[in-house]
Amino acid sequence: MTAANRDLSADSPVKLDEAPRVAGPELAMSPAARSGPRLLLQPDQPGPTLLDGGWWPRTDDPVAELPGLILALDKRHGRIARVMLGTAGWDGSRPRRLRVDGPAGSRVVRLGWFDTMPDGLLTALSARGQRPDLVTVPARASQREALAAMEQAARAGNREHAPALLAAVAAQAGAAAPPGSS
């Protein structure tokens, strides 16, 4: 785990004037990224695994959160062309296309929203045919829960599915909480 793969710094305040602008019925244009994504990726090692790592977005707004993740995944897997997400855990916006501004210029990434996709799973598809699968930790999770889920997802040989991994981490956090701290 390198510092380049891990940005778990304190959240920066969200300004109300940073709301995303929508250009057309299905194209969302994101504001400039506030900081890098809180992302932990598995080291490049051959072998069977279900997840390639974990991501902990700062908010439940996909237009604000996805561009930073997409740019980070570009560096590792090549240009990301499509992202598939479950609808649970995100705000009501469901853009089908997202403009991403990066060092190589602007481009549009297609987004697919699926009610049937497992909770906490995000799948990205690159132009090179690579497919990173990430556990997406809810923005409201504690740092302890988020780190535990991301570290398990990034562990080589991990065989946990995203919903089971998130449920196990939440159960452990609940068991570790002092009485009366709910």
Instruction: Delimit the domains of the chain by residue range.
Output: 20-176
H/E element holding 145? helix 143-154
- Tokens representing residue 4 in the block: 């380049």
Q: Which two tokens stand for residue 95?
A: 């853009």
What global pTM score does this model have? 0.77
Residues in the chain, overall count: 182
The pLDDT value recorded for residue 74 is 95
Beginning with the edge strand found earlier in the chain, give each strand of the sheet holding 121-126 in spatial order. 21-22, 27-29, 97-102, 105-114, 80-86, 121-126, 133-136, 53-55, 39-41
DSSP label at residue 44: S
Q: Measured between alpha carbons, how far is 153 from 137 in angstroms, rounded to an integer? A: 10
Residue 17 has what pLDDT?
Answer: 28
Beta bridge partners of 105: 102
Mean pLDDT per block of 10 residues along the chain (182 residues) reads: 39 30 47 74 77 96 96 94 94 93 92 94 95 94 94 91 90 65 48
